[in-house]
Amino acid sequence: MRDTTDRRPNAASTMTDAPPRSSALPTPAAETIEDMPRDRFALPDDATFALCLTHDVDRPYKGVRSFYYATRERPAYHLRTALSSANPYWQFEEIMALEDNLGVRSAFYFLNEQHLLRELPLREWLSPDNWVQHLGRYDMTAPEIVDVIRDLDDNGWEVGLHGSYHSAEDLLRLREEKTLLEDVLGGPVTGGRQHYLRLSVPETWQYHRAIGLAYDATLGSSTDCGFHTGYHPIHPFDDDFLVFPLTIMEQALPDPASDFEAARETCERLLQEAAENGAVMTVLWHPRYFNEREFPGYRRLYRWLIERASDLGAWIGPPRTLCASQEDDRPQRASRTDATDTEFHFTHERANP
């Protein structure tokens, strides 16, 4: 299904350069995730449920990170990729071709990670994790990145914001990243997800709304698949700002290379659960996982997931399009219609080094 949504006005364009005072930030509708209002969406085309497809663009280049991976597994293979001119993590064209063949579109969230040596204090240089991040950093204004962003946008894919590691708690940084992405894109950005699923509730959502985003897709787990916070998007401020909980991150599934059926069965169980509850199901496949040599089975599983969701009568597309479909026909909200029995606990998950 092609995303033909009209572009929204850029809500951030009317804001001043100064950050809003804390008193100007929206007040959460409830103290816990469970108690926040949510909608049972009026799904397009009388669909049984919605499947939102997303990709976090963390590392489109493998490069010198091959040496890091070589210390962990398959040293010969990873060292060859370090010395080769080929880039196994550049999978944009392959993903676009696959989704175009299936008649769907998805969202790509682009990351502007801070430069370790130029932008972070000296004490941060001592962290090995920060060096791993730094070595994977890319320049959003590089010609090939600009070209792929505009190509995606021109052909109906959603381009969104992948907030950097520290931006979850930094309004000014988050706004700068959104502004840069919109400059590259040549238009407004509707939503996105924070890097490493870092989330400070409610502050991160307050910042998202303050800079003009319409939704966030960060809430979720990198280690456990499921509908942990209910079946429907959340309205943390009881207004039109939406939170799309993450149902599946590919790395949380059984490894399809060693047990494809176990991975497929997990996806089947969640698809059936989504269909039975009219859910909005959001999945994340990082682009590098479409490299069959390094991550065998994930591309095949992604195709199966979309085909199976279509067989079950799902609407399939990016979150932006689903947001727009609700603007003219928003059903009445109800609190705690589908919240889980236990409070969802937030952690700063360290996934995908």
pLDDT in tens, the chain (353 residues): 333 333 333 333 333 333 443 347 999 999 999 999 997 878 988 999 999 999 999 988 876 555 455 455 555 555 555 555 578 899 999 999 999 999 999 999 999 986 544 565 666 655 666 556 656 678 999 999 999 999 999 999 999 999 998 899 999 999 999 999 999 999 999 999 999 999 999 999 999 999 999 999 999 999 999 999 999 999 999 999 999 999 999 999 999 999 999 999 999 999 999 999 999 999 999 999 999 988 999 999 999 999 999 999 999 999 999 999 887 555 444 433 343 333 333 333 334 44
Strands 37-38 and 334-335, bridge-based pairing: antiparallel
Query: What is the residue extent of each domain of the chain?
Result: 26-62+89-131+138-335
**CA-to-CA distance for 51 and 315, rounded, in angstroms?**
6
Residue type at 148? V
Strands 242-243 and 248-249, bridge-based pairing: unpaired
Omega into 202 within 30° of 0, i.e. cis?
yes
pTM for the predicted model, two decimal places: 0.82
Give the CA angle between residues 36, 42, 43 to the nearest 5°.
115
Domain 26-62+89-131+138-335 grouped into CATH 3.20.20.370: yes
